[in-house]
Each structure stands twice: as C-alpha cells, then as structure tokens.
Amino acid sequence: MASSSPLGRALAHAPWSPAAWRDTAFIGSGVPLQLAGWAIVCAPWALWVPVDATPIAIFLLAPLFAVLLLVRPATRAHRERLWAMLGADLAELPERPGGPVLGPLRALRSEDLWREVRYHMLTGPLLALGAIAALLCWLGGLALVSLNAYAWALPASSALSLTWHAVRLGVLTALGVVLLLAAPWVAAAVRRLDVRSAGRLLAPDREAELARRVEDLAEKRAEVVDAADLERRRIERDLHDGAQQRLVSLALNLGLARETLTGVPDEAMQVIIEAHEEAKEALTELRDLIRGLHPAVLEDRGLDAALSGIAARVPVQVRLSVRVPERASSTVEAVAYFVVSEALTNVVKHARASVVDVAVVRRGATLHLTIADDGVGGADPAGGTGLTGLARRVRSVDGTFRITSPAGGPTTLTVELPCAL
C-alpha cells in the first residue's frame, strides 16, 4: 500500500492533507477540557489569596470537590469528542450509585474514579501542552513563511528589511517551512497519545472488564445448569406422579384379569398375558428413565444412599466409600451421581472387571470422586464410551476430569467438583 511507504506517509502528513487538519482540530478541541481541572483548582487563588487557616482549607478542598463532581461529565465530553471527530467508540464506564453528587464521594476507593482523575489532572494537561505546541508550529510556520509578503514594505532600517536582510529572511522562511511540515506530525503524535490514554484511563479497565465478564458468564452458566436440573426434577415428578401411576394401575388391572378371568378363549387370554408383560416392561423402563433423570433418593437421603442403590444394581462387585459430612448443592450432587452411574455402566460394558472401587470424599469446598477398576484398560474418551459426555457434564460445573487407563488396566477415573455453587 502507498500509505506504508515513506512517500505515502509523507503525503498523508502533508500540511494540506485532510488528516493533518483533522488531527489539529481534534487536539485543539481537547485543550479546554484538558486544562479545565487545573483551571478550577487555580481559579480561587487567582482571585484572592487567603491568609487564615479556614479560608485556605476551603480554597484547597472546594476546588478538589468540584473536580470530583465534574470528572464524569468531562469524561463523557471526551467520549463524544472521540466519536464525533475520529469515529472512535470508547466504552462507557459503569454508573456510580448515589447520583452525581454522592456518587464520587462513595467511589473514592474506586479504581475507575482515580484513573479518570489521573487523565484529567495529569495526562490531559500534558496532552494539552503537546496540542499547544502543535498549534504554535502551525501559527509560527505561517507567520514566518508569510514574512516575504510584507518585508519589502518595511523601512531599510528594519531588522527584517528585504533590502538589507535577505539572507535572514530566507533562513526564517525556511524555518517556517520546517515548522509547517512538522506541525502535522506533532498533531498526529498528540492525537495517537490522546486516543491511547483515553482508552486506558477513561474506559473500563480491560482486565477488570474481562474478569467481570468471566464472572458474569460463570453465574449465567450456573443458572443454566441449575435451571436444567430443576427441569429434570419437574419431569421426574410429572412422570412419577402421572405416567408411572397409570402404568402401575394398568399392570395391576391386567394382572388381576390374568389371574381371575375364567372361561376366556385362549387367544384372548394370550393377548391379556402379553399386554400384562408389556405393561410390566414399560413400567420397568419408565422407572429406569425416571431414575436417570433425577433419582428421588438422591434428593431425600443424599449421595450415600443414592450411590449405594447404584452399586447394588451393578452385576460387578463394588466397594463403595462415601464420606461427605456436609452435603453439596443439588446440582453438584446430581453431577456426582451421574458420573458414578455412567462410569459403572462403562465398566460393566467395556472393562471386563471383577471389582470396582468407588470413593466419594468431600475435602473443604471440593468433592473428590475416584472410580477404579481392575479391568482390561484402554479406555479412550474419543472411543464413544460415554467418557466425553462425562467430561462435558463435569466441566459444566467447573470441575476437573482425569482418566488413566493404560492397555491391560487398571483404569482410574478422578473427578473434582467445586461445592461452592
């Protein structure tokens, strides 16, 4: 691109270029705002110098309080200036509670307030000096370049007479040209410093903003996980109180018909028997589904009882140890329950193990789960054995998931779940 070459950069910063005038107008418009803080502080002393302690204290404290009150309006003015003249959108600082008067006093320990003060009382005035220097380059350059326009009319005794001091005029004219050529570069440098300083001091701190966003996302994710758990509980209750009861009643009626009806043709009795068996199978599947959604025993009696029920149903010897002196949140308990349940299912399907050791221990604010078997090993999360889903479920509550499964075994699954949810 031409603008990246030396010639392109020189043309972009030429005195007649639109960028030069834009930068000059931008930095010039900021001078009154950037010097306003010190103008407020110094104004009382310019009008009258007190000699008593009380007026001196008032002269010191009143301007400082005024500066604190005007910091946020001045910041908004700089934001509007950046947007109107450069198209730069500066993120707005969060509103201070307490209104325009009490807000600054309540925010005296706020980092945002003191970053604003640093801009308006230190960085801003220095930028104003740079802007004034750029403006002086423009004015001095124009004044020196235009000397030849009127030097011929000066008397011969004048120090700038064209008749006797042509060399001096030439040097001053050359100096004016240098100032005019330098003015756009000075204006561009001050403009870049102003934009960078405003972004760092008048906008939310990027690290703090990222931390707030991470915290907000974590809270929203926790809310989503809790909402999903509540929805599973609602579905479990609806199925338990509705469809399951109807299936129980249907199975009882069919069983009663199967045992008591006499004189029924064999074909009809066979239909009743098949319907009864189907109803019992459907009831078993529905109970498994309800247990998989959210087991009622987990909510009523905790992890120990719920995991003991899982261990009793597994066709493998399970040595279970649960030491949870204080219950975790229902969401964390549900994740722990499903992790152990799915891990035992994987052991039965794939590990060919004879013994499984399950340990659930709470240490401080962390729930530790360890599932170890003496199977063939070789478990791979990418192999479609449900480990990927387990890891995703654990990460949904900011937990950690680790598995060690060399070929030939043993396999050890370690999960850590934060309880402070």
- Give the model confidence (pLDDT) of 317-340 as tens digits: 889 888 888 888 877 888 888 888
In the chain, what are the helix, strand and coil shares in percent, each to the nearest 5? Answer: 70, 10, 20
Which two three-digit tokens encode residue 135? 């403006």
Q: Is the pLDDT of residue 200 over 80?
A: yes
Q: Is the pLDDT of residue 4 over 70?
A: no
Sequence-ordered alpha helix ranges (H) in 239-350: 244-260, 266-293, 296-301, 303-313, 330-346
Q: Is the pLDDT of residue 157 over 60?
A: no
Q: What is the pLDDT of residue 190?
A: 93
Phi/psi at 402 (5° precision)? -135, 140
Q: Is the pLDDT of residue 74 over 90?
A: no
- Give the model confidence (pLDDT) of 251-297 as tens digits: 788 778 877 777 777 787 888 888 888 877 887 777 767 666 666 67
Who has greater pLDDT, 9 or 365?
365
CA 284 → CA 239, 261, 270, 278, 367, distances in Å? Answer: 13, 25, 21, 10, 32
Contact between residue 419 and residue 360 where contact means Cβ atoms under 8 Å apart: no
* Sheet hosting strand 355-363, strand order edge to edge: 317-323, 355-363, 366-373, 411-418, 400-404
Cis peptide before 418 (omega within 30 of 0): no
User: How many C-beta atoms lie closer than 10 Å to residue 55's C-beta?
Assistant: 13
Q: How confident is the model at residue 2 (pLDDT cuts 50, 70, 90)?
A: very low
CA–CA separation, 417 and 398 (whole Å): 7
Fold category of 300-418 in CATH: Heat Shock Protein 90 (3.30.565)
**For 112-119, what is the mean pLDDT?**
83
Share of the chain above pLDDT 90, in %: 6
